[in-house]
Structure 1
């Protein structure tokens, strides 16, 4: 790492001096590469992208486009944290695939993008589940519906659909009497959607309980609302 630190220090002195010369492109490329070798991915990402902006048709433009996205991939955090760098990496790999559709790195880009997309899915799932755990059922319904729409083929689909059904049920249970019928009906509709996709679900016991309670209300209309009216 020490040699790359020295390289960046030297390049910092040389780059302004050769800015308007033929050597500038190589110096910018070497600078970005040096930061990457130092594993300073934040700086490397900035310099690779700066190279592409300055030399869009330069001899290292293709490699720099890929490396900029790879830097963002390397600093993409675990799902619990903010996913700005994850989105930046996806955007970067997508840009690379658009600009260089015949590159031998296309499959590598697809692999990275799939992994990054799953991270966004997990983030979306965790955020929605947090609302459920906090008993903020209305917010949970909205968040889970959006997550299921945006990431329809997620590995968390069964649990997310169960959490939405449970949220709808709890929202109905805790509603004012005048609003319960429509909310229990929404619960019943969601129950049928859930059972259509997951007839042998691991949540079957609780789903059956929700169905029985919901059906009882819709048939008799005499279940009193519980606390925390909404």
Structure 2
């Protein structure tokens, strides 16, 4: 009996609360709405706070309270883990209050929201690039911020994602046996991301692509393409003399030399 009464009491409280909130949404008392929006925000009731902020922000646009209300609105969306909307409102906040007391945090959080929605490496990386740009703007504007080191780490992580995207795109050409396109893509990736962790593998794929491109070329084009393979072999060995791909690289070298009829130079590791 007590349990039933307790359940009924909870239902009545919830119904009453919902009714009060619906009345609040329809109310024309904007000061009351502002007070309740702040209250909901502080209580972590972000769905309610964002709904009311949407109604009152235009009304308080030119007031001293505008900055704080806009900040709480952006923070509410972040609290809901709606990173698309949060990022949009942080950026809007920066445009409206570039020198406000929350400007530093807003700049960081705008970039951080792009970081949170950046997809896995094989997908389009627009948000990744936006996040990198955002963090760099943040570090440039607030070089003394305590969050600069965190921003640097996040930029490095994001750049590695771009490297992986570039690597996967280049490797796709290789896997599809489009060796000329693979060489171009791998060259571009190696130039843009010289210190990538994929460097050794990418250089090997480029060398093997050059060899296979030469092998499958018309006879009158083979000599110059085998020569390009040989040149790339020396570049590879100079950088990775003890490569994990040594056996494959030696095979490419021997077959290339056999075609060019130059023999295997003394001292070259097979």
TM-score range for the pair, normalised by the shorter chain length: over 0.9
Bigger radius of gyration = 2
Spell out structure 1 runs of 4+ moving beyond 4 A.
none
Could you tell me how far 1:21 is from its partner in structure 2?
1.6
The residue that corresponds to 2:252 in the other structure is 210
1:46-125, aligned counterparts within 5 Å?
46-125=88-167
1:141 to 183, 188, 191: 183
Whether 1:36 aligns to 2:78 is yes
How many residues end up aligned between the 2 structures? 220
TM-score between both structures, scaled by the size of structure 1: 0.93
Equivalent-residue separation in structure 1 for 2:91 and 2:58 (angstroms):
18
Q: Equivalent residue of 1:58, what SS? A: coil
1:2 Cα deviation (Å)?
7.3
Pick one of 198, 202, 215 that aligns with 2:240: 198
Q: Structure 2: which 5+ residue stretches go unaligned?
A: 1-42, 263-270
| Contact 2:44–2:79 (8 Å) recurs in 1 | no
- Measured on the aligned residues, the alpha-carbon RMSD in Å equals 1.2
* Aligned mates of 1:121, 1:171 — CA distance in 2: 24
Does residue 16 of the first structure (1) align with residue 53 of the second (2)? no
Mapped to 2, the partners of 1:86 and 1:15 lie a distance apart of 30
Work out the CA distance in 1 between the residues paired with 2:244 and 2:112. Answer: 39
Structure showing greater relative contact order (alpha-carbon pairs closer than 8 Å, 6 or more residues apart): 1
Q: How far is the alpha carbon of 1:58 from its aligned partner?
A: 1.1
- Distance (Å, rounded) in 1 between the aligned partners of 2:102 and 2:240: 50
* Superposition TM-score, scaled by structure 2 size: 0.80
CA distance in 1, matches of 2:74, 2:44: 16
2:220 matches 1:178: yes
Aligned position for 1:127: 169
Separation (CA, whole Å) in 2 of partners of 1:110 and 1:2: 30
State how 1:147-158 maps to structure 2 within 5 Å.
147-158=189-200
Shift in Å, 1:122: 0.6
- Provide the C-alpha distance between the structure 1 equivalents of 2:62 and 2:140, rounded to a whole number of angstroms: 30
The unaligned stretches of length 5 or more in structure 1 are: 221-230
**SS of equivalent to 1:161:** helix
